[in-house]
Chains A and B, each alone.
Chain A
Amino acid sequence: MISALSASLIDGLMIGLVYGIAAMGLTLIWGVMRVINLAHGAIIALGMFGIYLLFTNLGLNPYLGLLVVAVAGLLGGMLLYQLTIRRVINAPYLSTLLATFAINMIIIGLGTAAFSTSPRNVDFTLGSTNLGEITILNTRLVAALAALGITIGLYLFLFRTRPGKYVRAVANNRTAAELMGIPSSRILALSFGIGVMLAAVAGALIATFFPFTILSGDPYQLKSFVIGVLGGLGNPLGALVGGLILGVLEGIVPNFMPNTWVPVLEFMLFVLILLVRPSGLFGAKR
């Protein structure tokens, strides 16, 4: 029992880190521009297919593919911002929700036409590591480490570089930032790009150990909402902690009750946190 529990705990922690960076993308966009990106799940699915196509068709190592997906996500996100989000960023929140949902429909529609909805998997393995009685899949370990590395990178970017400082300034007060000479529209585009990049990378990492379809992004988008609200929307580090909580929940709960109860608990937790502490467990960073 103890070893089964600790095995699922470790598994949950590793997957939770990956969930964490997916949610970080969502929460960063919300924090900087008060936009809930409903295309988040579709972008996660694109990340999955990105790494799948690079690996299956070009034989590229998935972790090199990850870099390609990241760059494509950053640039694609900035382009998407310039084409659409820029026009609705000052509109009522319904417009931003529907605009991003429209993007979601377009991506899913094109994706379904191109790839159908049959399941795929990246046929790639790194073997496993034995720690006493516990076996860890190495793809998950690498994904967890990559997620940690990405988080540290994001923090270094936000707190140690000038563009990062600009992002924080725009998040804090866009008008004041503009008065200080910060090119806010470029910074907003960059922030959206980073948010999209994080989603795509999270999708790519998930694809290395779970099978997926073009519709697989949706559950991860919902998980990102839950995690984002747990950690406080707008707080990237909170998202990582929220991801860990969700991962552990998903790891531990099936030991005690049927697997299908896990989402019920997750969504009840989600609504409860929204009602009791809408700023999240750790309070949002504004």
Chain B
Amino acid sequence: MSTTSDVLGRLHARPAAARWRNPGLWLGMLALLLVGLWPVVSGQAATREVIFTMLLAIALASSLNILMGYTGYVSFGHVVFFGLGGYVSMFLLSLGQPLWVAVPAGGVASGVLAFLLGKAILRLRGTYFALATIGINEAMRTFINNFGPFGGSTGISLNFSVYGNYGGAANALWLAYYAVLALALLAILVSYIVKTSKFGLGLMAIREDEDAAEVMGVFTPNAKTWAYVISAIIPGMVGALFFFKNGNIEPADAFRLQFSIETLVMIMLGGQGTVLGPILGALGYQQLRSFLLTNAFFKDYQLVIAGVLLLLIVLFIPAGAVGWLRKRFPRLRNVLP
């Protein structure tokens, strides 16, 4: 005789098993891995640079999507975590710490900042939250501009000998590339795990109606704070690797608001609140950008075309590519996470 708890048990067991059999997730990650390994096979530095930018964008967009797409809190100044992670790790590197200490330290610093800010600014809703994140990014940028230990407005430049520890500059660039590939894959996995977890369900409940979620037993202040922390750690580490590869960091590069908003555009393009959306959006946006920048005719109008495209998406396909597919073809919902 089957009891109620049996039925409930089976109900719970099914999604848990199916959770790891989602073809969209694995095919997506496999495709990304192949793209990521392409420059390794071909050995071309130019291809590597192009794909590096894409992987960077995927890692950032997937992370921000946890806060923006799942929780419904739009952080306009998310680049603050990228910049802070970069600064902390460059500071450690310049003190002679190894990369494997500096990069996690960048991630931890960003996570801690998000945790400290979280409870305070996540009380603000909607536009007020968006404005506060802009304010924090600008406060950080202007503060570091004056902050002596981080080099003030000139920033921190790595001594060339630092790369010697990693088999010379050429090898160090490859090392940074592999690390960013790993982080991009990790970001996608984290995004999927969050989305299919009970915690993620709570976040999506907050997105739909925060007061109702609270009544239903989601402890919203903590849930939001953890979403914020999770979405900050990988950008912190990616920032660390980006500036390690770059060799120097300065406030205007590290905390560029424009960069933050470009990440939002990628998420919108692919579809917010989906796992695959930020990946597609990041790939699409970077492809378009590099095409426009290298095309003699469009070179001067790169920003205009990106603006028109963004406007058209916002006006006509606000759900983004993956969101549109999921809405148009409901069957795809099972395979496109």
Interface residue ranges, A against B (CB under 8 Å): 30, 34, 36, 84, 87-88, 91-95, 97-99, 101-106, 108-110, 112-113, 222, 225-226, 229, 258, 260-261, 263-264, 267-268, 270-271, 274-275, 278
Contacts and interface: CB of A to CB of B under 8 A. Distances in A.
Q: State the 3 A-B residue pairs at the shortest beta-carbon distance, nearest first.
A: A109-B303, A105-B307, A109-B304
Contacts of B68: 94
Contacts of B268: 94, 98
B310 A102 contact: yes
Interface in B261-276: 261, 264-265, 268, 272
Contacts of A104: 307
Most chain A CB within 10 A, of B135, B136, B138, is at B135
A112 B299 CA distance: 12
A268 B139 contact: yes
B304 A106 contact: yes
B38 interface: no
Nearest to A105: B307
A109 B302 contact: yes
B285 to A, nearest CB: 13
9 contacts: A88-B314, A94-B68, A102-B308, A104-B307, A106-B304, A113-B300, A258-B146, A264-B142, A264-B146
B291 interface: no
Nearest to A226: B135
A271 B139 contact: yes
B127 A36 contact: yes
Interface of B: 68, 74, 76, 120-121, 123-124, 126-128, 130-132, 134-136, 138-139, 142-143, 145-146, 153, 261, 264-265, 268, 272, 300-308, 310-311, 314-315, 318
Contacts of B145: 260, 264
Contacts of A84: 311, 315
A271 B136 contact: yes
A99 B311 contact: yes
Main secondary structure of the interface of A (DSSP, over half): helix
Contacts of A101: 261, 310
B139 A97 contact: no
Contacts of B310: 98, 101-102, 105
A270 B135 contact: yes
A274 B272 CA distance: 27
B307 to A, nearest CB: 3
B132 A94 contact: no
Contacts of A109: 301-307
A98 B265 contact: yes
B74 A97 contact: yes
Contacts of A87: 315
A109 B300 CA distance: 8
B132 A275 contact: yes
Contacts of A258: 146
Contacts of A261: 146
A30 B126 CA distance: 13
A171 to B, nearest CB: 16
Nearest to B152: A260
Contacts of B138: 222, 263, 267, 270
Contact of A94 (B74, B139, B153): B74
B122 to A, nearest CB: 11
Given A105-B304, A271-B139, A274-B132, 16 more contacts: A30-B127, A36-B130, A36-B131, A93-B126, A93-B127, A94-B264, A98-B264, A98-B265, A102-B308, A106-B308, A109-B307, A110-B304, A258-B146, A260-B153, A264-B142, A264-B146
Given A95-B314, A97-B76, A108 B130 contact: no
Nearest to A279: B128
Contacts of B146: 258, 260-261, 264
A176 to B, nearest CB: 22
Most chain A CB neighbours (cut-off 10 Å) among B153, B301, B307: B307
Nearest to B76: A97
A112 B303 contact: yes
A88 to B, nearest CB: 6
A24 B66 CA distance: 35
Interface centre among A99, A102, A108, A268 (most CB of B within 10 A): A102
Given A36-B127, A110-B304, A271-B135, A99 B315 contact: yes
A30 to B, nearest CB: 8
A110 B128 CA distance: 30
B210 to A, nearest CB: 13
Contacts of A36: 127, 130-131
A102 B307 contact: yes
Nearest to A271: B135
A225 B136 CA distance: 13
Contacts of B139: 264, 267-268, 270-271
A233 to B, nearest CB: 8
A113 B314 contact: no
Contact of B121 (A30, A92, A99, A275): A275
B138 to A, nearest CB: 5
Contacts of A110: 301, 304
Contacts of A95: 314, 318
Nearest to B299: A113
